[in-house]
Amino acid sequence: MTFDRRQFIQATAAVLAAGGAVVPAYAQTPDTARVVIGFAPGGTIDLAGRRIAEKLQPSFAKAVIVDNRTGAGGQIAAQGVKSAAPDGTAMLLTPTSPMSLHLFTYKKLPYDPVADFTPVSGAVMFDYSLAVGPLVPASVRSVKDFLAWCKANPAHANFGSAGQGSAAHFIGAALGRMGDADLRHIAFRGSQPALADMIGGQIAAVVGPTGEFMPNVKAGKIRLLASSGPKRGKFTPDTPTMAEQGFKDLAYVGWFGFFVPARTPADVVQRLNGGIRQALAQQDVVDSLATAYMEPLPTAPAQMAQMLKTETEFWAGLVKTVGFSVE
């Protein structure tokens, strides 16, 4: 199953951004609000969350803090927000996998992605990449080279990702299955810990958002073998896509989005949506995101709900085609 999600997402963002964003009046500004993230500090989602949180204060809340609750591929953070008061003071910033892919790879989730949450806005979009470290010889220059090396070196045939059942986990596992290579997955509590082990030679490769890798790519410590987009990325025009290299089913653009607990009042959702969209329109935020190879993705709540539905349908078809489960 292939599908140009980048064009869909960019068109959505352009239409909505053209309408501008207005932050409605609020009867009482909360003292503190939390952006809950299910992954370790230092990664792309953490950067996006902190930049947006800065812009939400003091208009949305007097203080907006980032709360990193790691574990279970983002599910612990989602479960925490599900149980929070539905007043806008706890918002989940998450990749889409805990809200879509996990439906097809876990037997049971501790929440219902649709019934227990209200979509607020998209945050950013990005490509994933496959990177290799010093454990993999320099002669390995493509995905097929890497898979051949893994077959010849089964003790080192592994890759890390930001969590069990994540989109990055799926992409790495799918590459192995499509290439008939037995790749062992190693789950971390974020891409940065995985990256540290790859640079240290403990693991061979990592799949994660492209921006996680680039400082070390530029420093010559690691190499990108492929990106996940349907076409070469805006920030990595010299890196061939997985589709170009024969893995056409893995044309995928990732995104992060904001959710609040179900039953959060509509006026609070709209106020938060307006604040996020205003933040993503500011040039310093756009520039900061670009340093991590991310692009703004402002949406209306209803449009984000439709995007999540489309995402869920995408994973349903691909998981069935590839055959993948973490349990």
pLDDT at position 88 is 96
Q: For the chain, percent helix, then strand, then coil, each to nearest 5?
A: 40, 20, 40
- To the nearest 10 degrees (0 to 180), the angle between helices 301-322 and 5-18 is 180
Q: Where are the domains of the chain?
A: 5-126+254-322, 127-250
The span from the CA of 276 to the CA of 121, in Å, is 7
Residue with tokens 């439906």: 103
- Record the pTM: 0.88
Secondary structure of residue 32 in the 3-state scheme: strand
Q: What is the second-level CATH architecture of the domain 127-250? A: 3-Layer(aba) Sandwich (3.40)
Partnered with residue 67 across adjacent β-strands are 36
Q: Within a 10 A sphere around the Cβ of 304, how many other Cβ atoms?
A: 25
Give pLDDT, residue 3.
39
- pLDDT of 165: 86
Q: What is the rounded CA–CA span in Å between residue 11 and residue 44? A: 23
pLDDT of residue 18: 46
Which residue ranges in the chain fall short of pLDDT 70?
1-27, 327
Q: Quote the tokens at residue 241.
A: 């896509």
In CATH, the number for domain 5-126+254-322 is 3.40.190.150
Q: What does each C-alpha distance from 257 to 121, 140, 193 come to in angstroms? A: 6, 35, 23
Alpha carbons within 13 A on the beta-carbon side of 237: 1
Same fold, 5-126+254-322 and 127-250: yes
Helix (H, G, I), strand (E, B) or coil at 294: coil
Q: Which amino acid is at 126?
A: F
Give the residue among 232, 242, 189 at the shortest CA–CA distance from 69.
189
Tell whether the torsion through CA atoms of 210, 257, 99 and 12 is positive or negative.
negative
Q: DSSP state, 74?
A: G
Q: What residue type is 62 in one-letter code? A: K
What are the tens digits of pLDDT across the range 80-100?
A: 999 999 999 999 999 999 999
Instruction: Determine how many CB atoms are found less than 10 A away from the CB of residue 287.
Output: 10
